[in-house]
Amino acid sequence: MKKQLLLILIVMLGWTSAYAQIPDGSIAPDWTATDLNNKSHKLYTLLDSGYTVFMDVSATWCGPCWNYHNSGALEDLYNTYGPSGTNEVRVFFMEGDASTNLACLSGPTGCVGGTQGNWVAGTPYPIVHTQGPAIASSYQITYYPTIFAICPYDKKVYETGQLPTSALYDFHLSHCAPPPLVVDPTAITNIKCFGTSTGAIDITPTGGVPPYTYHWSTNATTQDLNNLPAGTYTVTVTGRKGTQGISDPIVVQGPDGPLSLVLESSTPVGCNGILGTATVAASGGWNANYTYNWQNGQNGETAYNLGAGNHVVSVTDDNSCKVSITVNMAPAVIPTASIATPDVITCSQPAIQLNGTGSSSGPDISYQWYAGVGGHIVSGATTATPVVDAASNYTLQ
């Protein structure tokens, strides 16, 4: 009688093992298995595709396994939420006992190791025999049946127990929901120069269920945006399984005004090899940290020793916006000296006024008269019309 009770107890509990089962929340070991229809399945491929994988590790001889199998819980789960339903889950039957042969799955005929009946008939989801024992070992099961749920986004495994269909699906929703889809810009490129379309936004979504689609406030549908003017942009990213994320406003900035460069002052080229200078001033653009470069290699606002001709100078702001102007240095203007024929000094007219008004004139022109031997300049030696009172040669410079 004691032996019979012990046998019944073992049948009711299924098979047990001396080692510990894989803990809930562990990373599920990957596996590749071929089902009875000779179709290959890889766990991580299914998980990476966003499917929650339910795995029934049973033995054909196990009574509790047979009872749960015939409850239809996994069959209904597969039909409702599997490939022909909402396409959220995948279900597998794994024969965990290596001592049972393939025939045991179809009933007692030819079975070695024991069977409860035909496990194949009416089962819509894949059945794995050959790799089943190795998979059972990698998950360290301690009894049959062991029902696992493996979540797609973190690849964590949980034992669910022998739940009805509704509870299995609730477990999928509560434990295996996709992570929130977060949309953050990884790089924002502000426009280079005022009024240009040289901005860019790069984003890298995380979470949700790839692949993603994109819809920008500009109606663009690419992941990243290029050739943007200054402005504010948003993007809605949509993944599979209804996951969606909306970015915060993304601002592509621009300067308040255009970068400009003007000639502020210059010193002209003079006679006798005297060279000129020119000073420029920038405004606008990104800021006042301007960099000036002259065609002749000089740097800074002012260039020195400039000869006659055109000199190109450029200014660059902090965002590499660059503008240039050409500074023209006029050639030196050589003044002319012209003296009208003077009157004659006489006794009645002992002093006369020389007339150099035909010479060059202007604010930059100065006059200097010189008297030759015996000559005498009474007044106005630095004017165009000096007074002299002695006969001599007079020179205007």
Tokens of 266: 């210059």
pLDDT of residue 86: 95
Name the helix (H) or strand (E) containing 168.
Answer: helix 165-175
pLDDT of residue 9: 35
Name the helix (H) or strand (E) containing 189.
Answer: strand 185-189
Parts of the chain with a pLDDT under 70: 1-19
For the 260-329 domain, the top CATH level (class) is mainly beta
Residue 43 neighbours by CB distance under 10 Å: 22
pLDDT of residue 16: 44
Per residue in 323-354, pLDDT tens?
999 999 999 888 889 999 999 999 999 999 99
| 17: Cα within 13 Å, side-chain hemisphere | 16
Query: CA 397, CA 369: separation in Å to the nearest integer?
Result: 6
Query: CA 313, CA 178: separation in Å to the nearest integer?
Result: 58
- Confirm if 24 and 140 have CB atoms less than 8 A apart: no
pLDDT of residue 239: 93
Return all residues near 20 (Cβ < 8 A) that are at least 6 apart.
140, 142
Nearest Cα to Cα of residue 92 among 143, 42, 46, 55: 55
3-state secondary structure of 5: helix
pLDDT of residue 6: 34
For the 2-175 domain, the top CATH level (class) is alpha beta
Using only C-alpha atoms, what is the Rg of the chain? 49
* Every domain of the chain and the residues it spans: 2-175, 185-252, 260-329, 335-397
- Confirm if 387 and 375 have CB atoms less than 8 A apart: no
pLDDT of residue 1: 31
Burial class of residue 5, CB neighbours in 10 A (0-12, 13-18, 19+): exposed
- Confirm if 36 and 127 have CB atoms less than 8 A apart: yes
pLDDT of residue 364: 78
3-state helix, strand, coil in the chain (%, to 5): 15, 30, 55
- β-bridge partners, 55: 92, 148
pLDDT of residue 377: 96
Token pair 């008269």 is at which residue?
369
Q: Can you list the alpha helix ranges (DSSP code H) found in 243-373?
A: none
- Confirm if 93 and 123 have CB atoms less than 8 A apart: yes
pLDDT of residue 19: 54
Per residue in 28-84, pLDDT tens?
999 999 999 999 999 999 999 889 999 999 999 999 999 999 999 999 999 999 999
- b/e burial code for range 324-337 (CB count within 10 A of at least 16 → b): eeebebeebeeeee
Query: CA 278, CA 7: separation in Å to the nearest integer?
Result: 108
